[in-house]
Structure 1
Amino acid sequence: MRKIFLACVLGLLTGGTSSQAQPKLPYDTWYAGVIAPDHMEAWVESVDVIDRRGLAYERVNGGVPSYATTVAGWPSHPAGGAGKGVRGIDLPEIIFVRWQSLVEPQTYNVRINIPEWVREEMLKPQAPYCRGQKRVVEGMYRRFITIGLAPGGIAKAWVGGPCLQSIEIGRFEAAISKVGPYGGTSNGEHRPLSDKAKAYIEQHGVPYGSW
């Protein structure tokens, strides 16, 4: 009887997890992407998500961000960035990013609260004109969350999508990580800055305050 009882409990738990893992969205995945200003090199240690069901997902993204074509400020309508589609996770309520700003160097943690209006926007079907296809395309969505990471611990977030104008979510100031790079496992050593970025910064400096 005990084995049967345990099997039933495990079956219920498995079934509950399975149903939770499949959010009801009008698309298979939403996208979490990261960008950084040109020459302002960074290394993303982790992008973690708490979705609107309160479920937590660690390391949905990481690594080298895409670099914007601007050094000071941000592109007019950033959308995408380095990352991947987030499958099986409901729309985000909170996004945490831990990254190394290599030009300083410094390690930062930032919490990005996603307002309800952003999730509502991500669920609205759109019919934009797509220049690449030279026609109006039905059933498009703003399902890209793009996060910009800049020296000084500044982060900015937008919601956008293919052929759609990006909308700014907000600007956020990160905290310096108390444990340092790599969760305190590297004796304070950050990833090295590339020679190209180092030469640019030595000549032009870092445009703090422009982000």
Structure 2
Amino acid sequence: MNRLGKLSLLVLTLFLAGCTYSSNRLPYDAWYLGFFARNYMEVWIETADAVDIHDRVFRRAMSGVAAINTPKNLKGNPRGWPDVPAAGAGKHVLGAGLPRLIYVRWQSLVEPQTYEAYIPISEATRQAMIKGERVYCDFDGKWITDYRYMLTIGLAPGGVTKTWIGGPCLLPIEVARTVGTVVKEGPYDGTSGGRHRPLSETSKAYVEKYGVPYGSW
């Protein structure tokens, strides 16, 4: 079964098994989909597709470079995950209802390897995304009602993903961890002759010196 077929089957399964939020109306204009990678562990996102609660598919809701830090002195730490991850590089998913599923296919450039992962978003997570919380916001120095409308996904070697929801003034909450699978066709669905995008010289120097800390994510 091809990826489109697997995606359709998983959407149908989630539709039959899960509850749905009955309206596309949200307490904010749109939710945000962002990605980041650990220090030096560079990735290239070929596509990130979102499926909302109405089974609408928003293809390439995000693609390209994930947020990353690559200090040239090689003193950055790629192990584990940050206690408070930032929103990541991404986009607002305009016109979508709350998310039910995120599909992401990416190149892990330090290996190199191409992975894909299906990240289900639970009903509990969706309810948390529309629950307003009173919080003092240091950004503008006042109390506001904030929402965890930012869906942030970390991508790591070995196909590991971790997902949080957060708001500009609210601490993020971890909501999912998945391990993706290798895309047998390779990068770009096999159209690049097996060639991945190049790794930066800084990240290459780090990996050659310290290796890839598998098992830390």
Q: TM-score range by the shorter chain?
A: 0.7 to 0.9
Distance 2:136 2:119 in 1: 31
* Aligned residue type for 2:136: Y
> Per-residue displacement from partner, 1:30-70 (whole Å, max 9, x unpaired)?
00000000100000000001101111111000101001574
Distance in 2 of aligned mates of 1:23 and 1:113: 18
Residue 116 (1) aligns with residue 123 (2): yes
Give the SS at the match of 1:152. Answer: helix
Match status 1:176 vs 2:177: no
TM alignment of 1:1-211, pairs within 5 A: 23-67=24-68, 70-137=77-144, 139-211=145-217
Aligned to 1:10: none
Distance across 1 between alignment mates of 2:77 and 2:90: 19
2: CA distance between counterparts of 1:48 and 1:100? 15
Aligned equivalents of 1:131 and 1:26: distance in 2? 22
* Inter-partner Cα distance in structure 1 for 2:121 and 2:101: 6
AA matched with 1:168: E
Q: C-alpha distance in 2, partners of 1:160/1:79?
A: 9
Matched residue SS, 1:197: helix
Partners in 2 of 1:207 and 1:53 — Cα distance? 39
Secondary structure of the residue aligned to 1:183 is: helix
- AA aligned opposite 1:202: E
Report the TM-score, using the length of structure 2 for normalisation.
Answer: 0.84
Identity of counterpart residues, as a percentage? 50
Q: Secondary structure at the match of 1:66?
A: coil
Describe the superposition over 1:1-37 as per-residue Cα deviations: whole angstroms up to 9, x where unpaired.
xxxxxxxxxxxxxxxxxxxxx9211111100000000
C-alpha separation in 2, matches of 1:91 and 1:150:
25
Return the offset for 1:133: 2.3
The gaps in structure 1 that reach 5 residues or longer are: 1-21
**Cα distance in structure 2, aligned partners of 1:107 and 1:46:** 12
Matched residues, number:
189
Residue 134 of structure 1 and its aligned partner are, at CA, apart by 2.7
